[in-house]
């Protein structure tokens, strides 16, 4: 096991001990954005199906796969013991009984773990403790090796946006333009770890709904790409900006939301600092939107890492304090009172001792073609 993996286990086990767990089950699935927790603790990237990393508070961890996944993925990349079982939940029950475990934390209990495996664990009388937030907080502060991976993902994402912008023209299909960016992402090693969409509406504004970039979607004079990728190191990032044709006349609401976006970008540099709470950051960056009468239809921001969306989120009432080397995706989803006009731009921010630092070099603006 390499030093980086050992560091991760030490952090996770400290959180386990704080909550008096005998063991932790970390769930991962093929669903985009949910596979990273298994990679984080094993080195193995799920190609198909699902897997669990079982972490005792003391002793050797193991990763458990369904039997049909024996030849799916590069199993030689796993740095811990591997087990294949027709029903992974039954194997984890046998392992828990043999070790005398009673209280087991589960990352992914509500969203990731398969129903049949959860049923097996519950039927065995084990105390299952939801551990999503606790696990994410244990991995929220990134190491230098992780930050190198994050920066590489930002490099890939930023260039992908530039390619999207270069290929954009009103009347082209969303699929045609997105395909050029996706080609770059695949060539740079993202593989299937991309989650890219568009928000379109009219020539003057974009509607709030996220859409798959299909051939049937003809691009207007104004649109919002949503670009989320993870590079070869498997750290997700989000970087995108609004795009408009040079002659597009944007709606009054869109123009006012852009003013608020500029204020958010300025406020974030001082608000995103060690010791500030997520609640504090949310209020600082959302003030310009709220004062102008807009509401935010998506989370203001969230921690991001090998899982696309991690705790803590930047939002009302979240009192988790930021720490140096945390990484956040920020994307206020501003929506007008009419429910039509919206503005949504993404940036990945690093918490430093001096404040928040945006990791891309793209200015916060509407890019005109």
**Domain parsing of the chain, residue ranges:** 3-138, 144-368
pLDDT at 130: 97
According to CATH, the superfamily of the domain at 3-138 is Creatinase/prolidase N-terminal domain (3.40.350.10)
Q: Which fold has domain 144-368?
A: Creatine Amidinohydrolase (3.90.230)
pTM for this predicted structure = 0.94
Tokens linked to 158: 């930023």
d(CA 287, CA 129): 37
Q: Which residues contact 161 (CB under 8 A, 6 or more apart)?
A: 181, 225, 227, 239, 240, 241, 362
Whole-Å CA distances, 226 to 174, 197, 200, 243, 263: 12, 5, 11, 11, 21
Measured at the CA of 346, the angle between CA 354 and CA 355, to 5 degrees, comes to 5
C-alpha 192, offset from chain centre: 14
pLDDT at 220: 98
pLDDT at 31: 81
Whole-Å CA distances, 178 to 98, 115, 212, 343, 354: 51, 35, 10, 19, 36
Tens place of pLDDT for every residue, the chain, 369 residues? 899 999 999 999 999 999 999 999 999 998 878 899 999 999 999 999 999 999 999 999 999 999 999 999 999 999 999 999 999 999 999 999 999 999 999 999 998 999 999 999 999 999 999 999 999 999 999 999 999 999 999 999 999 999 999 999 999 999 999 999 999 999 999 999 999 999 999 999 999 999 999 999 999 999 999 999 999 999 999 999 999 999 999 999 999 999 999 999 999 999 999 999 999 999 999 999 999 999 998 789 999 999 999 999 999 999 999 999 999 999 999 999 999 999 999 999 999 999 999 999 999 999 999
d(CA 364, CA 362): 6
Q: Is the Cβ–Cβ distance between 159 and 184 less than 8 Å?
A: yes
């Amino acid at each position: 096991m390499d030093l980086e993996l050992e560091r991760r286990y030490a952090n996770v086990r400290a959180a386990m001990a704080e909550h008096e767990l005998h063991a932790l089950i970390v769930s991962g699935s093929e669903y985009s954005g949910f596979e990273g927790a298994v990679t984080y603790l094993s080195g193995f990237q799920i190609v198909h199906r699902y897997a669990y990393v079982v972490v005792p508070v003391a002793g050797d961890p193991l990763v458990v796969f369904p039997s049909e996944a024996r030849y799916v993925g590069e199993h030689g990349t796993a740095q811990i013991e591997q087990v294949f079982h027709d029903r992974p939940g039954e194997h984890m029950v046998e392992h828990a009984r043999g070790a005398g475990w009673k209280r087991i934390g589960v990352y992914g209990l509500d969203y990731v773990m398969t129903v049949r495996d959860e049923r097996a664990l519950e039927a065995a009388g084990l105390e299952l403790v939801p551990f999503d937030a606790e696990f994410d907080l244990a991995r929220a502060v990134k190491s230098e090796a992780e930050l190198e991976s994050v920066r590489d993902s930002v490099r890939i994402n930023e260039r992908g946006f530039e390619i999207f912008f270069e290929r954009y023209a009103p009347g082209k299909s969303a699929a045609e333009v997105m395909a050029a960016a996706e080609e770059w992402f695949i060539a740079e090693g993202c593989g299937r770890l991309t989650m890219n969409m568009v928000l379109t509406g009219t020539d003057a504004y974009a509607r709030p709904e996220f859409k798959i970039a299909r051939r049937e979607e003809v691009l207007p004079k104004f649109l919002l790409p949503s670009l989320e990728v993870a590079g070869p190191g498997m750290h997700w990032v989000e970087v995108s900006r609004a795009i408009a044709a040079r002659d597009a006349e944007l709606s009054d609401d869109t123009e006012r939301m852009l003013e608020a976006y500029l204020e958010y970008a300025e406020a974030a540099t001082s608000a995103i600092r060690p010791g500030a709470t997520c609640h504090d950051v949310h209020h600082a960056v959302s003030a310009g939107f709220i004062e102008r009468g807009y509401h935010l239809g998506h989370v203001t921001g969230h921690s991001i890492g090998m899982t696309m969306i991690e705790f803590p989120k930047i939002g009302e009432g979240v009192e988790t304090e930021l720490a140096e080397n945390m990484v956040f995706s920020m994307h206020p989803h501003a929506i007008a009172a009419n429910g039509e006009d919206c503005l949504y731009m993404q940036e990945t921010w690093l918490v430093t001792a001096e404040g928040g630092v945006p990791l891309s070099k793209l200015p916060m603006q509407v890019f005109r073609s």
